[in-house]
Chain A
Amino acid sequence: MIATLLQLALLFGGLSLLAFGGGTAVLPDMQRITVDTFHWLTAAQFLDFFAISRAAPGPGSLIVVLIGQKAAGVTGALVAFLAMFGPSCALLYVAALVWHRTAHTAWRALLERALAPVAIGLTLASGLALIRGTEHGWAQYAVTAAATLAFAFTDVHPLALLAGGAVLVLVAGG
């Protein structure tokens, strides 16, 4: 039990600092190690966990909570959660301090102006990659397009869009 908790902490603590561009970056490594190396769960269960963490509210990286729960119960889930988010949050906090200290300097303004198109590009990329990574039928394409336009050009509430999308695809048998 203690050994498993330690393995969880070391594994997710390490992945936490490798997750460049968000949690999805380390999913392949996560699957390989939790399924093939430690045999905490099967590949099919990993896929199911991925679907649950994507569908449930909150960040997708919460898949580590499910893996921890499967490997070592609720304690495992908490250890996995702290290990996955602790190191990266601490790193970001330090980075943010440096970021704020350099406000109003010339190179910081240059950096911000140069980062804006990068950040917007990554936002669009995540949407496009999600379309590529999931099975998108005609109903989903239509719903995605409608939601994109509605959110970009009107002030309609996101929850209303989400509820509408759920009903639409359900009715269309998507």
Chain B
Amino acid sequence: MMSFGGGLAAWIRREVVQRRAWLDDQQFLSGYALSQLVPGATNVNLSVFIGAQLRGILGAIAAVAGLTALPVVIVLLLGALYLHKSGLPGGGAVGGALAGMGAVAIGLNLGTGIRLGRVHLRRLIPLAICLVIALAIGVLGFPLLHVLAVMLPVSLALTWLGQRA
């Protein structure tokens, strides 16, 4: 699977939810949240979740292998090239193209957030929780562990109170 920089989750959602309908948005989001709560690379965790959901432990192994096999080979080749030549070929042109793709990959992440937000954040309190987390980690640079330690209980409490009201 081809995927650059930070756009991988966006890509997975597009393939698994929008195109193949293996999961619905709610299942995907719940799996994505679980993937971020459990330590490890979020996208690899997500592929374990999706694979396990579809085909149990073999599905999980197949999903991880499918997600990482080709990238591992590519990274190994780039690494061999790098260690051999002590630098990557192409110089500035390759750097510029990579910078452009990186900029787009960031946009894919933000675009996914907006897409999901339009569907799932129709009320004020969930929207506020979402924005506080995005700003605290993304702009102010607070550690994820600290933000989750505060915002998870807050979100749970407010959701619970909202249900009772």
Residues of A within 8 A of B (CB): 16-23, 25, 48-49, 51-62, 65-66, 69-70, 74, 77, 81, 84-85, 87-89, 91-93, 95-97, 99-100, 110-132, 134, 136, 139-141, 143-152, 158-159, 161-162, 164-170, 173-174
What chain B residues lie within 8 Å of A114 (beta carbons)? Answer: 152, 155-156, 158-160
Q: Is the interface of B mostly helix, strand, loop or mixed?
A: helix
Residue on B nearest A146 in the bound complex, by CB: B107
What chain A residues lie within 8 Å of B136 (beta carbons)? Answer: 125
- Most chain-B Cβ atoms within 10 A of its Cβ — which of A17, A112, A151, A173? A151
- Asked if residues B113 and A21 are in contact (CB atoms below 8 Å), the reply is no
Query: Which of B31, B57, B139, B144 touches A25 (beta carbons < 8 Å)?
Result: B144
- Asked if residues A173 and B48 are in contact (CB atoms below 8 Å), the reply is no
Question: B21 near A: Cβ within 8 Å?
Answer: no
- Most chain-B Cβ atoms within 10 A of its Cβ — which of A59, A97, A99? A59
- Asked if residues B159 and A89 are in contact (CB atoms below 8 Å), the reply is no
Closest Cβ of chain B to A78, distance in Å, is 9
Query: What 7 pairs between A and B have smallest CB-CB spacing?
Result: A88-B40, A58-B71, A147-B107, A128-B138, A151-B111, A121-B133, A169-B100
What chain B residues lie within 8 Å of A162 (beta carbons)? Answer: 4, 7, 101, 104-105
How far, in angstroms, from A132 to B7 measured CA to CA in the complex?
A: 16
Query: Which of B49, B109, B127 touches A123 (beta carbons < 8 Å)?
Result: B109
Closest Cβ of chain A to B65, distance in Å, is 10
- Asked if residues B100 and A61 are in contact (CB atoms below 8 Å), the reply is no
- Asked if residues A126 and B6 are in contact (CB atoms below 8 Å), the reply is yes
How far, in angstroms, from A49 to B4 measured CA to CA in the complex?
A: 15
- Asked if residues B156 and A110 are in contact (CB atoms below 8 Å), the reply is yes
Question: B96 near A: Cβ within 8 Å?
Answer: yes
Q: How many A-B residue pairs have CB under 8 A?
A: 360
Query: Which of B34, B116, B134 touches A99 (beta carbons < 8 Å)?
Result: B34
Closest Cβ of chain B to A110, distance in Å, is 6
- Asked if residues A117 and B144 are in contact (CB atoms below 8 Å), the reply is no
- Asked if residues A117 and B121 are in contact (CB atoms below 8 Å), the reply is yes
Instruction: List, sorted by A's number, 11 A–B pairs whose CB atoms are closer than 8 Å.
Output: A56-B75, A57-B1, A88-B39, A112-B26, A118-B152, A122-B36, A126-B138, A129-B141, A131-B106, A152-B118, A158-B104
Closest Cβ of chain B to A113, distance in Å, is 5
B86-108 residues at the A interface, CB under 8 angstroms: 88, 93, 96-108
Asked, given contacts A69-B76, A85-B64, A115-B30, whether A174 binds B99 with beta carbons under 8 Å apart, the answer is yes
- Asked if residues B137 and A120 are in contact (CB atoms below 8 Å), the reply is no
What chain B residues lie within 8 Å of A150 (beta carbons)? Answer: 107, 111
What chain B residues lie within 8 Å of A25 (beta carbons)? Answer: 39, 144
Query: Which of B40, B70, B111 touches A91 (beta carbons < 8 Å)?
Result: B40
What chain A residues lie within 8 Å of B41 (beta carbons)? Answer: 19, 22-23, 59-61, 84-85, 88
